[in-house]
Amino acid sequence: MSAATVERKPETAADPGGAPAPDEAVPRRRVPLWWWLAGVLGAWVVLSIVLGDRWTLYLPGQGTRGIHETLGDFRRDLIAGRDDNPVMQAVGALSDLFNTVVEWLQGLVSQAAFPRPVPQIGWLGVIGIAGWVSLAVAGWKHALGVVAGLGAIGLLGYWPEAMDTLIITFFSVAICLLVGLPIAVLMGTNRRVNAIVTPVLDVMQTMPSFVYLAPMALFFSLGPAIAVAVTVVYAMPPAIRISAHALRAVSPTTIEATTSMGQTAGQRLRKVQLPMARRTIIIGVNQTMMAALSMVVIAGFVNSPGLGIPVLRALRAGDNQVGVAFVAGLSIVVVAIVLDRVTTAASERSELAARGAAPGRGRWILLGVVGIAAVVMVYLSRTYFSLATFPESEVGPRVADAVQSAADWANDHLRGVTTFVQETTTTLFINPLQDLVAGSPWFVTGAALVLLAQLLGGWRATLSTVVCVGGILATGLWYDAMVTLTSVLVATVFVMVVALVLGVWMARRRGVDRVLRPVLDAAQVMPSFVYLIPVLGLFGPGRFTAIFAAVVYAVPVAAKLVADGVRQVSPTTVEAATAAGSTAFQLITKVQLPMARGHLVLAANQGLLYVLSIVVIGGLVGGGALGYDVALGFSRSEFFGKGLAAGIAIVLLGVMVDRVAKQAAERRR
């Protein structure tokens, strides 16, 4: 939910999950596609007006259906039988182990290790070790970056919380790899496993965490173990997907060559496939880390130690704590950026190492010397208070005050504009579209969706759509699902408009790219909970606010994809067009954007999935519909079943639009 689907990068999306569509050559239509689309839309509008507000399957916010009660009983039975449920006992033992490990690590770097008044290793020691490790895996520049990043976190005032977050993140990522890599090997080498596991991964990534947070707490108890468990559920798919993809991408000729030389499958895996896929697998690790970090605040809902707790505490205290929330969120951003840069550099380095670029003698000496310095730093940090506990600084409060005044200023001066924007957008776009999608009888909207899927994506898309429409009907939340679909579509349109403007601008001006890219990176990892309060202050609760939060969250990934796409257009083509006298506008609209079409489709697809992934956050700010249902199910046991059903409906919506978009892109190639 809230959390980011950060991992859905191009690798994932381009991942040919199932076999690519058999070549159904695009039939030569006599009537152009646009006419058909217009026809379906027209009929939809007419029917919705004629039949009016009937058969919409509307269910009040706190209403339930039989299916929801059935789903809810499942959890009630689990709780009633928890003392003698063997699965729970087994998982309980596992979670005790998790807790012990995490608590031991906490004693090492973040919490007082009794009887010591401070952790075993103080901040200076941690910085020393981290600097040394990044020097070893990523090089000088990145080591300095790590030292600066950790120093910044200390100055912002969240050292122990950031250490806790790092512990949970590293521990979860380790489990993801331990469990995920063997699965990836199976998926990469066996088509059938691939076909079975892929949909499971889809569900793990799109099911909002709020749905399984409380039930999982039954199994994993409320210590750090539950935080690790929910993080693993969400962060494991990218590790598996990307590694499996990497293994499959090893060229078949290479494999044939080694097979003909008499290698066994095991040898082939160890000697050929894994080494050749190493770089991509490290990208998988990187994506897994980013996904794990996007769970920090969600895990805070079940008391996970780390940076999530200060964010939630500030959120609870309301509009006087916006600055405080921002500083805590900024610490998460710093952690994410440091980890991202180091792992990316490490993957590039491992590529060089694999090609046999051996490090020179100077490097070993350097590593040794810095290693000794790190040991000294650890020793000092064990001995002196000021080197163990990060000294208090004014930086955090100063930043918080500055952000707070900015937020207050915006609140006082921009409301006239924001209210106008909110009301106009809601009346002109959201309401009419919602009247059409959710206000039509269910069979009209359902048929329209199926027909559109057929026109855009062909038979495979139609089949997915029929299954998903049926599934959504079965969840008993058709009306809410259609309201959510409307908001998601509107948000995606806004995302694409903003992403096109930013992306084209970035692609055409290096300087703009250099300034915007880090800002977009930061916006992508900044937890949405941080900016919910100021956004609420500006727009008030409602669907527009939910859409706005989703757009902020989804624009970075889409804009970066657009920029990459436009930049890939061959310079010769651009030169030719310029020589032929195209204006800048003509160049963009007639040459660069059409030629970047593949990337644009991908950007829209990713933008939409990102928007969908924070539907529940939208529910917390007045977005209503499925997001609200999930939040309701999380907070009230009597509505657990309804929340679960809403989670399933969100998964189905995601699968439906993703399949249609992919098939549509496939056919247009």
Partner 1 sequence: MKHRKVSALTGSLAAVALVLSACGGGDIAEEEDQNAEQAGEAGDCGDLNLAVNPWVGFEADAYVVGHVAEEKFGCKVSYPELAEEVSWQGFGTGEVDVVIEDWGHPDLEKQYFADSGDGSAMEMGPTGNIGVIGWYVPPWMAEKYPDITDWENLSKYADLFETPESGGKGQFLGADPSYVQFDEAIVANLDLPFKVVFSGSEAASIAAFRRAEEEKTPLIGYFYDPQWFMSAVPLVRVNLPAHTDGCQDDAKSVACDYPETELKKIVSTEWAESGSPATDLVKGFSWTNDDQNLVAKYIAEDGMSAEDAAAKWVDENPDKVEAWLS
Q: Please report, as residue ranges, which positions from 220 to 249 form the binding site for partner 1 (by CB under 8 A).
A: 221-223
Using CB under 8 A as the binding criterion, the count of chain residues that bind partner 1 stands at 88
Site for partner 1 in 425-454 (CB under 8 A): 426-427, 430-431
Asked if residue 169 lies in contact with residue 307, where contact means CB atoms within 8 angstroms, the answer is no
In the 8-state DSSP scheme, what is residue 81? Answer: T
| Whole-angstrom distance, CA of residue 176 vs CA of residue 181 | 8
Decide: is 145 part of the binding site for partner 1 (CB under 8 A). no
Q: How far is CA 36 from the centre of its chain?
A: 35
Q: Per CB under 8 A, does 621 bind partner 1?
A: yes
C-beta closer to partner 1: residue 82 or 270 = 82
Q: Is there binding between residue 315 and partner 1 (CB under 8 A)?
A: yes
Selected from 300, 329, 476, 654, the binder of partner 1 by CB under 8 A is 300
Which of the stretches 20-28, 219-227, 490-498, 599-607 binds partner 1 when contact is defined by CB under 8 A?
Answer: 219-227
Whole-Å CA distances, 649 to 481, 485, 653: 7, 10, 6
CB 596 within 8 A of CB 533: no
Smallest gap from residue 584 Cβ to partner 1 (A)? 38
Per CB under 8 A, the segment of 229-237, 238-246, 535-543, 654-662 that binds partner 1 is 535-543
The verdict on 118 binding partner 1 (CB under 8 A) reads yes
Q: In 3D, which of 526, 180, 94, 487 has the Cα closest to residue 337? A: 526
**For residue 365, how far is the Cα from the chain centroid?**
41
Note whether 139 binds partner 1 by CB under 8 A: no
Residue from 160, 542, 647, 654 touching partner 1 (CB under 8 A): that is 542
Of the two residues 371 and 471, which places its CB atom closer to partner 1 in the complex? 371
208 makes contact with partner 1 (CB under 8 A): no
Scanning 16-24, 110-118, 506-514, 657-665 for contacts with partner 1 by CB under 8 A, the matching segment is 110-118
**Residue 319 binds to partner 1 (criterion: CB under 8 A):** yes
97 binds partner 1 (CB under 8 A): no
Q: Which stretch binds partner 1 (CB under 8 A): 108-116, 264-272, 277-285, 454-462?
A: 108-116
> Considering the complex, what minimum distance in angstroms separates the CB of residue 24 from partner 1?
43
Q: Tell me the window of 61-69, 440-448, 489-497, 515-523 that interacts with partner 1 (CB under 8 A).
A: 61-69
Distance between CA 76 and CA 642 in Å, rounded? 14
In the region spanning residues 632 to 661, those forming contacts with partner 1, defined by CB under 8 A, are 632, 634-639
Site string for partner 1, 259-298 (x = CB under 8 A): ----------------------------------------
What sign does the dihedral 315-319-325-326 (CA atoms) show? Answer: positive
Quick check: 89 binds partner 1 (CB under 8 A)? no
How is 385-452 classified by DSSP, letter by letter?
HHHHSPPP-SHHHHHHHHHHHHHHHHHHHSHHHHHHHHHHHIIIIIHHHHHHHTTS-HHHHHHHHHHH
Q: Taking the chain, what is the end-to-end CA distance rounded to the nearest angstrom?
A: 32
Please, what is the Cα angle at 182 between 180 and 186, to 5 degrees?
110
Residue 583 is a binding residue for partner 1 (CB under 8 A): no
Residue nearer to partner 1 on the CB measure, 228 or 657: 228
Burial class from Cβ neighbours inside 10 Å (0-12, 13-18, 19+) for residue 87 reads: exposed
DSSP 587: I
Q: List Cβ neighbours of 598 (8 Å cut-off, separation of 6 or more).
A: 565, 665, 669
Least distance (Å) between residue 75 CB and partner 1:
10
Residues 67 to 86: which contact partner 1 by CB under 8 A? 76, 79-80, 82-83
Out of 183, 250, 387, 626, the residue judged to bind partner 1 by CB under 8 A: 387
Q: How far is the CB of 79 from partner 1 (least distance, A)?
A: 6
**Residue 453 DSSP SS3:** helix
Q: Is the peptide bond before 16 cis (omega within 30 degrees of 0)?
A: no
